[in-house]
């Protein structure tokens, strides 16, 4: 965690510096609070940086995770949100919901169970879509399809 | 006033309200029982769903979910040694050992009855403390609001995070995020990166949904191979009666736990996990048989569960009276109130008294309903914990978060904001920065800034800026509380030994 703390402290100090630089163009009362907070934040981050050198190394109990699988999940979620305005809300949601359900369920992957999943996902997403669109009158973003 | 109270009480039993309470408690129990799904997350997802409802229906539903989910966390704590919600952490200490002895039904019944009693005591405090506090809030000016937010931030930093420094960084980071948008005084357009959508500031609900839901989804999918082994759940005869008699004989245990839960709930930002742990520690300290704790002792479950359910109502006291959430789920409820155009404070108990009291009385019903629903749904919930695949649940949550964050303003930008904070929340969590302090910082930021800048203006007009901050009576009380809470970790380290539960 020591290295992670040092990197986090560096990033936070960078963010504080950016906010401080930006405040130079603000009026007095618009800049007062952000300046105070940015200084306080940078101070805490500096303390974290120093503490990472002073503290004794602790036994890490943290579970190990595969970075590639985390990145893949993040990519899927971001792509899901991005394609909503390209393809259309309903179709994108059904496609990505199915993709995750099939790809991440290790238990049953035969054709019958995949078809069951397609049915379950299609019904769930469509039902919620119509509940929002027709009952709550939420206008969804439109893409090439709907 | 009496008429409003009576009408509000009757209003709880209108068919629609009754239905929403039942649906809320039922779905809350299911959500709470599933590891990885928290009360905060359930409320965050459902807040946008309620905005088309009448305010009272939405609040009654969310209140039911809040109560049900906090109680539901005990199921997985007892049956799989994994707290369904953070509030149930202390329940695992004795709940799981009891279930391993074959007494899972007894453990669940203990959790259920103590949750109901604790919850009802908490609602009692809510009913009697809220009106006078809301009146007192009228005496709060900008300096008092500034110190109140300072107090809230020190509490969250010192209690709700494993590392005090990281808690403080999280809180300050949240405050900085809250400055994005048009300045409340002066009107500067700040930190918008040229994006018009950011001029109104960061949307509270998309940020909350992101921080509390997306990290859970990622964790759920990363652990896709994980399956829980649920201990057998078999009904036994006379257990409900025996547990009830046991609790009647120990009124101090349950009352003390409920009072601890309520007090911890009132403290801004401190959640049910802290309430449960503090209450458990006190139960061990006060017991004549401390060695029995941690080995399946019924009093351990009672202490934790009575406390965390009382904390629900406790967390609503500062929320409804001052607009300061007592716990993360209450922070999301604040979003629901604002979405319905209801500002916390004296107005809630005068202008919106009907809605507010109906909501409070609905919590009584929600707590009572936990008893039959909890006992009879035990078998189904235990099956659900094992059978509901994360591969279906995770994308379903993503789907709901997208709908939820989009439907607030019908703006895709809110979905991007939600995702951004979700990813930030995940990275932060991996690095040891919990979402609680950041979210509280975002919520309290605007109140804190307005209080600070307005106080400075008032001070200048009066001729002395410092006097306005340090001489008003309520401010002095809040300053003492702020300093005490900021120094508490140091004092605790200096005077205290290891906690009781660590001695086990």
Per-residue pLDDT of A92-143, as tens digits, reads 999 998 888 888 876 667 788 888 888 888 998 898 888 878 777 777 887 7
Spatial contact of A14 and B430, defined as CB atoms under 8 Å apart:
no
B390 touches chain A (CB under 8 A): yes
Is A93 close to B402, i.e. CB distance below 8 A? Answer: yes
Is B183 close to A29, i.e. CB distance below 8 A? Answer: yes
| H-helix or E-strand spanning residue B190 | strand B189-190
Structure tokens at B54: 């009448």
A16 touches chain B (CB under 8 A): yes
Residue with tokens 């809250």: B178
Helix B39-50 crosses helix B15-33 at what angle (to 10 degrees)? 140
pLDDT confidence of residue B368: 94
pLDDT confidence of residue B213: 84
Quick check: helix, strand or coil at residue B103? Answer: coil
Residue A14 has pLDDT above 90, yes or no: yes
Q: How far is CA A28 from CA A19, B150, B385, in A?
A: 15, 22, 55
Residue of B nearest to A40 (CA): B172
pLDDT confidence of residue B156: 64
Is A34 close to B191, i.e. CB distance below 8 A? Answer: yes
**Which of A28, A33, A70 is facing B449, going by the closest CB pair?**
A33
- Could you give the CA distance from residue A94 to residue A100 in angstroms, rounded to a whole number? 10
Mutate to test the interface with A, among B209, B339, B395 (most CBs of A within 10 A): B395
> How far away is chain B from the Cα of A62, in angstroms, using its nearest Cα?
9
Quick check: helix, strand or coil at residue B182? Answer: strand
B472 Cβ contact partners less than 8 Å away, ≥ 6 residues apart? B141, B143, B144
B393 touches chain A (CB under 8 A): no
pLDDT confidence of residue A46: 95
> How far away is chain B from the Cα of A103, in angstroms, using its nearest Cα?
8
B467-B473-B474-B475 Cα dihedral, nearest 10 degrees: 20
- Could you give the CA distance from residue B142 to residue B155 in angstroms, rounded to a whole number? 20
Structure tokens at B41: 């997350």
Residue of A nearest to B453 (CA): A29
A69 touches chain B (CB under 8 A): yes
Is B176 close to A37, i.e. CB distance below 8 A? Answer: yes
Is B412 close to A120, i.e. CB distance below 8 A? Answer: no
Residue of A nearest to B451 (CA): A33
Spatial contact of B162 and B172, defined as CB atoms under 8 Å apart:
no
Spatial contact of B274 and B160, defined as CB atoms under 8 Å apart:
yes
DSSP state of A26: S
pLDDT confidence of residue B229: 67
B287 touches chain A (CB under 8 A): no
Spatial contact of A33 and B452, defined as CB atoms under 8 Å apart:
yes
A73 touches chain B (CB under 8 A): yes
**Residues in chain A closer than 8 A to B398 (CB atoms):** 77, 80, 96-97, 100
pLDDT confidence of residue A117: 83
pLDDT confidence of residue B500: 43
- Could you give the CA distance from residue B491 to residue B146 in angstroms, rounded to a whole number? 25
Spatial contact of B272 and B254, defined as CB atoms under 8 Å apart:
no
Q: State the count of interchain CB pairs (< 8 A) between A and B.
A: 161
B420 touches chain A (CB under 8 A): no
As averages over each run of 10 residues, the pLDDT of chain B (504 residues) reads: 82 90 91 80 80 86 92 86 80 88 89 93 91 82 88 67 81 92 86 87 86 86 69 78 88 92 80 83 86 87 92 89 82 83 82 89 93 84 75 85 82 91 92 84 86 90 86 89 77 56 43
Q: What is the mean pLDDT of chain A?
A: 85
pLDDT confidence of residue B366: 94
- Could you give the CA distance from residue A56 to residue A49 in angstroms, rounded to a whole number? 14
A85 touches chain B (CB under 8 A): yes
pLDDT confidence of residue B157: 63
pLDDT confidence of residue B503: 41
Q: What is the ipTM of this complex?
A: 0.91
Higher pLDDT, B192 or A57: B192
The Cβ of residue A83 has, within 10 Å, a number of other Cβ atoms equal to 18
| H-helix or E-strand spanning residue A42 | helix A28-54
């Amino acid at each position: 965690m020591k290295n992670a703390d040092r990197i986090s402290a560096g990033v936070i100090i960078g963010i504080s510096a950016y906010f401080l630089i930006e405040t130079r163009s603000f009026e007095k009362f618009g800049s007062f609070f952000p300046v105070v907070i940015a200084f306080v934040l940078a101070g805490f981050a500096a303390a974290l940086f120093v503490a990472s050198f002073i503290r004794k190394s602790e036994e890490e109990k943290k579970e190990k995770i595969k970075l590639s699988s985390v990145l893949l999940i993040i990519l899927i979620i971001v792509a899901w949100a991005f394609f909503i305005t390209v393809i259309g809300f309903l179709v994108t949601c059904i496609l990505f919901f199915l993709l995750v359900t099939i790809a991440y369920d290790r238990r049953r992957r035969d054709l019958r169970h995949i078809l069951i999943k397609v049915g379950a996902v299609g019904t769930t997403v469509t039902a919620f879509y119509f509940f929002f669109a027709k009952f709550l009158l939420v206008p969804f973003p439109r893409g090439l399809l709907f | 006033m009496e008429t409003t109270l009576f009408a509000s009480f009757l209003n709880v039993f209108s068919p629609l309200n009754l239905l929403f309470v039942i649906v809320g408690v039922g779905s809350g129990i299911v959500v709470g029982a599933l590891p990885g799904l928290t009360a905060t997350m359930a409320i965050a997802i459902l807040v946008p769903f309620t905005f088309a409802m009448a305010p009272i229906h939405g609040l009654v539903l969310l209140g039911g979910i809040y109560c049900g989910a906090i109680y539901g966390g005990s199921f997985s704590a007892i049956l799989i040694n994994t707290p369904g919600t953070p509030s149930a952490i202390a329940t695992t200490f004795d709940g799981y050992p009891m279930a391993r002895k074959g007494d899972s039904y007894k453990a669940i019944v203990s959790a259920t009855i103590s949750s109901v009693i604790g919850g009802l005591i908490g609602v009692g405090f809510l009913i009697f403390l809220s009106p006078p506090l809301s009146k007192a809030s009228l005496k709060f000016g900008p300096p008092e609001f500034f110190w109140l937010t300072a107090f809230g931030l020190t509490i969250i930093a010192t209690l709700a995070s494993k590392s005090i420094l990281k808690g403080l960084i999280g809180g300050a980071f949240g405050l900085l995020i809250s400055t994005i948008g048009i300045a409340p005084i002066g009107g500067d357009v700040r930190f918008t990166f040229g994006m018009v959508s950011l001029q109104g500031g960061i949307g509270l609900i998309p940020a909350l949904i992101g921080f509390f839901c997306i990290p859970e989804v990622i964790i759920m999918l990363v652990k896709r191979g994980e399956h829980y082994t649920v201990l057998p759940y078999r009904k036994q005869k006379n257990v409900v009666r025996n547990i009830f008699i046991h609790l009647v004989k120990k009124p101090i245990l349950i009352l003390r736990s409920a009072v601890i839960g309520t007090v911890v709930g009132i403290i801004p930002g401190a959640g049910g996990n802290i309430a449960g742990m503090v209450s458990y520690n006190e139960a061990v300290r006060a017991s004549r048989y401390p060695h029995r704790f941690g080995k399946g002792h019924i009093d351990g479950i009672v202490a934790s569960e009575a406390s965390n359910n009382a904390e629900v109502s406790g967390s609503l006291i500062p929320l409804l009276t001052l607009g300061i959430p007592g716990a993360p789920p209450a922070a999301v409820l604040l979003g629901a109130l604002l979405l319905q155009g209801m500002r916390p404070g004296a107005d809630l108990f005068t202008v919106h008294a009907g809605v507010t009291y109906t909501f409070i009385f609905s919590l009584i019903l929600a707590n009572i309903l936990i008893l039959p629903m909890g006992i009879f749904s035990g078998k189904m919930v235990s099956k659900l914990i094992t059978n509901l695949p994360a591969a279906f649940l995770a994308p379903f949550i993503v789907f709901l978060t997208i709908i939820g964050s989009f439907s607030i303003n019908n703006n895709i930008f809110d979905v991007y904001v939600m995702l951004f904070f979700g990813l930030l929340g995940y990275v932060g969590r991996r690095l040891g920065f919990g979402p609680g302090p950041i979210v509280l910082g975002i919520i309290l930021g605007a109140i804190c800034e307005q209080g600070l800048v307005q106080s400075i203006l008032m001070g200048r007009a009066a001729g002395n800026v410092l006097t306005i901050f340090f001489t008003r009576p309520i401010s002095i009380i809040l300053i003492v509380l702020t300093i005490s809470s900021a120094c508490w970790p140091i004092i605790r380290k200096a005077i205290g030994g290891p906690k009781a539960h660590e001695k086990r």
